[in-house]
Amino acid sequence: MAKQRLSVVVTRRLPEEVETRLSELFDVTLRDDDAPMSRTDLAEAMKSADVLVPTVTDEIDSALISQAGDRLKLIANYGAGVDHIDVATARQRGVLVSNTPGVLTDDTADMTMALLLAVLRRIPEGLHVMQSGDWDGWAPTAYLGGRVAGRRLGILGMGRIGQAVARRASAFGMQVHYHNRRRLRPETEQALDATYWESLDQMVARMDVISVNCPATPSTFHLMNARRLKLMKPEAVIVNTSRGEVVDEAALTRMLRAGEIAGAGLDVYEHGTRVNPRLRELGNVVLLPHMGSATREGRIEMGEKVIINIKTFDDGHRPPDQVVPSML
């Protein structure tokens, strides 16, 4: 007798290659549109499926997991971050959680450098004047930005992405500094030519650029709070391609408006799509719609990891990217 195929519900549209392979392997329910599922639809899916494949736009909290049926055994997250999933409650209910780490490292690091360059070299302002047809020609003092080489970059979070940012920054001639929960091994530190700061306050006060590359956890919430943002030099800029909650967005907005911080490049926001409207008014801020991982190659690789996690689970083994509360 042929083995019954797992029932898999996918909450958002995925790349065609990923959806096709999921359909070949499992009894999969795909989305016809790309709107997030409602909470009611998520609850129904979790009652009827063996596996749920959510994304960062789906809040899988304790209440929702508690409503799940006995059939649900795996939440195979499409994404590396799992702060939108109550992993502890899932585990208590006997539901495994997996994610897709490692595949977006280079894409996110590239976007970090893109934002850094965009802010320091005032690229959006130049783009706007060209698209509006208002350019009157070259002038010696027009659109003067700052040279990247020689600046001190302070990386907050020296995991995979932080290290990838460090390698790129070094190639641009920047001096790399970092603060991390644990200091890197000496050989890694030497290879990156990176200076470690045990005190985040001391590092922040001395940097020209701060790059936020740490995950969202209770200990990193508002790690860059109003007090710490005030430690930054007035000519310094901050870039965040990690999680919006790490930075106090209201305090950052006030300081940018007051000229206490020179600029910011943001790809993530504290309240998701509800971006502080005052940020949109500022010429020294570059805002992107969570594009850090948005390469076709990266999104396909994410899907391949999801498939491997589900297939490994279906074969009776632990998913290779299983997340447990102690990892968070």
Range 105-287: architecture per CATH: 3-Layer(aba) Sandwich (3.40)
Per-residue pLDDT 10s for the chain (328 aa) are: 567 899 999 999 999 999 999 999 999 999 998 999 999 999 999 999 999 999 999 999 999 999 898 999 999 999 988 989 999 999 999 999 999 999 999 999 999 999 999 999 999 999 999 999 999 999 999 999 999 999 999 999 999 999 999 999 999 999 999 999 999 999 999 999 999 999 999 999 999 999 999 988 889 999 999 999 999 999 999 999 999 999 999 999 999 999 999 999 999 999 988 999 999 999 999 999 999 999 999 999 999 999 999 999 999 999 999 998 754 4
CA Rg value for the chain: 22
- CATH 3.40.50.720 holds for 7-103+295-327: yes
Q: How many helices (H) and strands (E) does the chain have?
A: 13, 13
Confirm whether 7-103+295-327 and 105-287 share one CATH topology.
yes
What are the structural domain ranges in the chain? 7-103+295-327, 105-287
User: pTM of the prediction?
Assistant: 0.89
> What does the block give as tokens for 203?
């590092």
Q: What count of other Cβ atoms lies within 10 Å of the Cβ of residue 137?
A: 5
- In contact, 131 and 104? CB cutoff 8 Å: no
Of residues 229, 276, 294, the one with CA closest to residue 56: 294
CB-based burial label for 126 (10 Å; 0-12, 13-18, 19+)? middle
- In contact, 157 and 180? CB cutoff 8 Å: yes
